Structure 1
Amino acid sequence: MTTLRVLGSAAGGGFPQWNCNCANCDGLRRGTIAATARTQSSIALTEDGTHWLLVNASPDVLAQIRATPALQPARAPRDTGIAAVLLMDAQIDHVTGLLMLREHRSALPVYATPPVLQDLAEGFPLSRILSHYCTLETHCLPLDASPFTVPPLDRLTLHAIPLDSKPPPYSPNRAAPRRGDNIGLRIVSASGKRVFYAPGLGSIEPHVRAELDQADVILVDGTFWTDDEMRRLGLSPRLARDMGHLAQSGPHGMIAALDQAPAARKILIHINNTNPILVEDAPERRELAAHGIEVAYDGMEIAL
């Protein structure tokens, strides 16, 4: 049976964010709100409970490994259950964890699109840095949604779904986005269960609508509640859409998009520290529940 485990459910910076004193972060530190700390977003997939595909390598990966004993099966003096890493984009909160895996005893298999691999060779040269340690064994993902597998998880069929987005701020191509800067991932288990995973989703394009409509489980961008969340709190002049995220609320927001999907489970992930849905008894959380939408948490497991 295929298992999907949420290693981290927060957006970049985690929750609480180290330098943030918004109502959520301050309330969690003081114990005055009903909320749970979260690490930066990543999931892991397994078919046998021993070999795992890590989807995104969060800066918090070492803490996530400690919290997930199956990722360290201890079969030898040096061991890991991480068979490979698949990157959804080249954002710092999704790739920096590769540096933490530098002691890997052989070349670390990494699957990513050509634009992401280019950014990791030039803008943020992790591939060059890690060539002095474990080295990366890179594999280019197809951008035509064709199926591929990642050994030894050979019964798990994956499809990279290009999304409308921008490369990271450090990228030489920041002002000239390319197809493949950001992807969603269609995951099909041996039992035929279908998941659509997209932690960074800025708009519901027609092919994204099709993915949402055909998925049994949807695990998508839950970064912001409102488009002007960061601006209204005085934390950033940018809107959610400027950062490539579709806010949950509003007539054309993520809730409205998910309402049209027949999926058995609809789950938000990559939740920013400012988002009121982090507060378990908040009215926004009750609104999500009324729409049948869950909020991901670290350690959440989904059987496929």
Structure 2
Amino acid sequence: MMYLRVLGSAAGGGFPQWNCNCPQCKGLRDGSLHARARTQSSIAVSANGLDWLLINASPDILTQIRDNPVLQPARARRDSGIAAVLLMDAQIDHVTGLLMLRERGTPLPLLATPQVLSDIGSGFPITQILSHYCGVQTHALQCDGRAFAVPGLPDITLHAVALDSKPPPYSPFRGSPRPGDNIGLVLANPANGRRVFYAPGLGQMTPQLLDLMAGCDVVLVDGTFWHMDEMQRLGLSSKTALDMGHLPQSGAGGMLEHLARLPARVRKVLIHINNTNPILNEDSPERAELTAAGVEVAHDGMEILF
């Protein structure tokens, strides 16, 4: 059995966002909204329940470790269940937590595409900073369809898929995205053949990607925005969901339309949910629409076995 634990299910800023007084954040703070608080998105995967692959290191990693005791097995005076880290992209909310792991006693195995390693080696030089602390052992991922293993975690098989999304605003390639700036990940259990597809940032669906998802048992995908113009409606930004590299759930060509094409046996879960998204309100019509469509909303602490 493989274990997947959702450490954080929110988009950047978390929920409630520290400086936001939109109806969602305000309602959660004053208790008028039926919703759960969420930290910034990250998952962890293990084959034995002791040694874990951390997928994205959010700024909330210390809180997430505290809230998930399985990540601290306490086998020695200094210990961690985090055996390696894999980055899906170079976004601030997915890489900043690496700095919190600097007290590690040995170099941190870090898996990412060459594009992501370039961004966090220069534009936001986390790997350079960590070289003065624990250091990192980088492993470049190729989005060529070939399966690969994680150093120290041989029982987990993965392969990476290049997605259409955007690198972070600090990247010199923000305006000209490259394949490898953002990936989807297939996690497979070699013992039973079950597969999970993980993609917290997804700007466009393709027939090939939909076919890949149809062959998985669970899809854990981008749930950032409900509306294309969600941020504009609230006066929080002039950008659309696609401008920010995310496919909205609703509307023609939205995530829900694509998920409806998947076989009924596929478990469908949304993650990386922005604080403005009405699906966070468990009493909302949007949440009811998801339930009717058989689509779940990830929450911190959710566990998926495969």
User: How many pairs does the alignment contain?
Assistant: 304
Give the C-alpha shift of residue 175 in structure 1. 2.1
CA distance in 1 between partners of 2:83 and 2:130 (Å): 17
The one-letter code matched in structure 1 to 2:246 is H
Cα distance in 2 between the residues matched to 1:192 and 1:152:
21
The correspondence of residues 87-126 of structure 1 with structure 2, limited to 5 A, is: 87-126=87-126
Identity %: 65
Match of 1:297?
299
CA shift digits 1:157-205 (9 cap, x unpaired) = 1001000122111012222211100000011113211111000001102
Q: Distance in 2 between matches of 1:42 and 1:289?
A: 23
Distance 1:200 1:303 in 2: 22
Contact 2:260–2:293, Cα closer than 8 Å, also in 1: yes
Distance 1:9 1:199 in 2: 9
Contact 1:212 1:258 in 2 (8 A): no
Q: Check conservation: 1:105, 1:134, Cα contact below 8 A.
A: yes
Q: Distance in 1 between matches of 2:288 and 2:174?
A: 38
TM-score scaled by length of structure 2: 0.98
Q: Give the aligned residue type for 2:60.
A: D
SS of residue matched to 1:96: helix
Q: Distance in 2 between matches of 1:292 and 1:173?
A: 37
Matching of residues 42-191 of structure 1 within 5 Å: 42-190=42-190, 191=192
Structure 2: segments with no counterpart, 5+ residues? none
Q: 1:110-168 CA distances to partner (integer Å, 9 max, x unpaired)?
A: 00000000001110000111111011110000121210011332122100100012211
**1:161 partner letter:** V
The one-letter code of the counterpart of 1:160 is A
C-alpha distance in 2, partners of 1:181/1:206? 20
Report if aligned partners of 1:167, 1:173 keep a CA contact under 8 Å in 2. Answer: yes
2:193 match: 192
Contact 1:185 1:196 in 2 (8 A): yes
Give 1:73 shift: 0.7
**Superposed CA RMSD:** 0.8
Distance in 2 between the 1:13 and 1:258 partners? 26
Return the letter of the residue paired with 2:14. Answer: G
Give the whole-Å Cα distance in 2 for the aligned partners of 1:208 and 1:148: 19
Q: Give me the whole-angstrom Cα distance separating, in 1, the residues matched to 2:174 and 2:266.
A: 37
Task: State the match for 1:232 in structure 2.
Answer: 233
2:272 counterpart (270, 281, 294) = 270
Q: Quote the offset at 1:210 in angstroms.
A: 1.6
Is the Cα–Cα contact under 8 Å of residues 11 and 275 in structure 2 kept in the other structure? yes
Deviation at 1:211, TM superposition (A): 1.6
Task: Please give the alpha-carbon distance, in whole angstroms, between the structure 1 residues aligned to 2:106 and 2:151.
Answer: 15
CA contact (8 A) 1:58 1:95 kept: yes
Distance 1:206 1:264 in 2: 17
Deviates further, 150-159 or 47-56? 150-159
| Runs ≥4 residues deviating over 4 A | none
